[in-house]
Amino acid sequence: MQIEDVWIRKVFTGRGDITVEVELTAEDPAAGGYVVTRAAAPAGASRGAHEVLYFPEGGVDAALAAFEKLVAPEVVGLDVTETYAVDGKLEEVDGTPRFERIGGAVAIATSFAAAEAGAASLGVPLFTFLGGAYARRLPLPLGNVIGGGKHSRGLGPDIQEFLVIPLNPPDAFTAVYVNAEVHKRALKYILKVDSSFTGGKNDEGAWTPRISSITALKILKEAAAEVEKELGVEVGLGVDVAASSLWNGGRYVYKNEGVERGPREQMEFISKLVEEFDLIYVEDPFHEEDFQSFAELTDKFRDRLIVGDDLFVTNPDRIKRGGEMKAATGVIIKPDQIGTLMRAHQAVETAKRFGMRAVVSHRSGDTEYRTLAHIAVGFGADVIKTGIMGGERTAKLNELIRIGDYLGKWAAIARIR
């Protein structure tokens, strides 16, 4: 099951940004032939300061050159069923903690492609390859209905995402359907407050009206209640504040609302939102170095998912620090933030050790690949955050439904409350 050859090419994310795709050929002794797999790296618009470097200095062309010179000669001959060997070799040839020589995009695309080949060589689904025979729990889908912040180019609310999550769905199809219906119903409520809204959506398929954050939450609450009543599935509300993008000069600057909040005012504002709208999920309510404020909010709302993204950047060391401080009840897991599946798995295991739930997440500039659904199931995540609308979003959601069908009666749905 050795790697016979690897290629790399420039491709595009759903946002139109350039990324890289790795294509890999591995020997398949059982079938007497070869397995060919491909994988591409997603790209985020709002990146944490502690993420791996996406491309090395010199951009995508430097990444391609580094792949040809450093990666390809070293990974050929490795066994694709030994993920630690492939991912370990990527770390070895780069030699820096943040993949500064080959770039995180090259690293994660290679890691993904090798894992896909490993699964194909063994004749098992990718989620089984990653999680073993007992990986059978399906994560709850979390998706943004209304978008603001950087994902909406500053044209919507200052808070970046207004999210919904089904809390007690009977199966994966119903879970996905609930979110899609909330997204659809939200439009009529948006038009009630902004009759000139033309239906614009952001990078992740969320509506982008020019409304305040409070108005967005009121709309979300109304749409969710309507769907909840009709489908009989409880719908939780959430926000991704992306507070690091608001942090400027020691204050949180809400430009569109014309408000600035100091750290204490931010704490009071977020706490009020949690209480007033019964928020189940709160992501990045404070900037990426403020572990203490995270810990204070978590202490107040330990029964909610208080989640760190920029705070942790899928880094086991930062997750350990947050765990020791009881700074969160959930951790965003984005494999591209840390560079390899092996590192991402270490991040998940660290989070679980401290009782924090794993939220496996897409990026705003994602690809058509369905890999993330398998990672979420294989890693035993409680939640998969992958948007609601748009081809690169529904690719993951439809795959989650397929995994549920594959598992049949053995499938279990995660519960977060």
Task: Mention every residue, 6+ apart, whose C-beta is less than 8 A from residue 154.
Answer: 255, 256
From the list 21, 204, 228, 399, the catalytic residue is 204
* 204 is annotated as an active-site residue: yes
133: which residues sit within 8 A by CB, 6+ positions away? Answer: none
Measured between alpha carbons, how far is 167 from 187 in angstroms, rounded to an integer?
A: 22
Closest CA to 386 of 177, 132, 221, 144: 144
Q: Which two tokens stand for residue 249?
A: 């000069």
334: annotated binding-site residue? Answer: yes
229 φ, ψ (degrees, to nearest 5): -65, -40
Q: Name which of 302, 289, 296 is nearest 355 in CA terms.
A: 302
The reply, when asked if residue 50 is annotated as ligand binding, is no
Cβ contacts of 93-97, under 8 Å, gap ≥ 24: 94/70, 97/52
Is 362 labelled a binding residue? yes
289 is in an annotated binding site: no
353 is in an annotated binding site: no
The H or E element that residue 221 is part of is helix 213-231
φ/ψ (deg, to 5) at 356: -100, 140
Angle at 49 between CA 264 and CA 201, to 5 degrees: 80
The one-character DSSP state at 209 is: -
CA dihedral 153, 159, 162, 168 (to 10 degrees): 140
Residue 417 is labelled as binding a ligand: no
Q: Report the alpha-carbon distance of residue 38 to residue 8 in Å, rounded.
A: 9
Q: Is 234 annotated as a binding residue?
A: no
Task: Classify residue 205 by its DSSP letter.
Answer: S
| 240 belongs to an annotated ligand binding site | yes
Q: Name residue 33's beta-bridge partners.
A: 28
Determine phi and psi for 355, rounding to 5 degrees: 75, 20
Rounded to an integer, what is the distance from CA 63 to the centroid of its chain?
23
The reply, when asked if residue 283 is annotated as ligand binding, is yes
Per-residue DSSP letter, 68: I
Catalytic residue among 89, 221, 326, 334: 334
| CA dist., res. 242 & res. 238, Å (int) | 13
- Residues forming a β-bridge with 281: 238, 305
Active site annotation includes 334: yes
Judge whether 343 and 88 are in contact, CB under 8 Å. no
E-state strands within 73-177: 137-138, 140-147, 161-166
The verdict on whether residue 161 carries a ligand-binding annotation is yes
**Binding site membership for Mg(2+): which residues?**
240, 283, 309
Would you please indicate which residues are annotated as catalytic (active-site) residues?
A: 204, 334
Residue list for the binding site for (2R)-2-phosphoglycerate = 160, 334, 363-364, 385
- Binding site for substrate, residues? 151, 161, 283, 309, 361-364, 385
Q: Binding site: what residues are annotated?
A: 151, 160-161, 240, 283, 309, 334, 361-364, 385
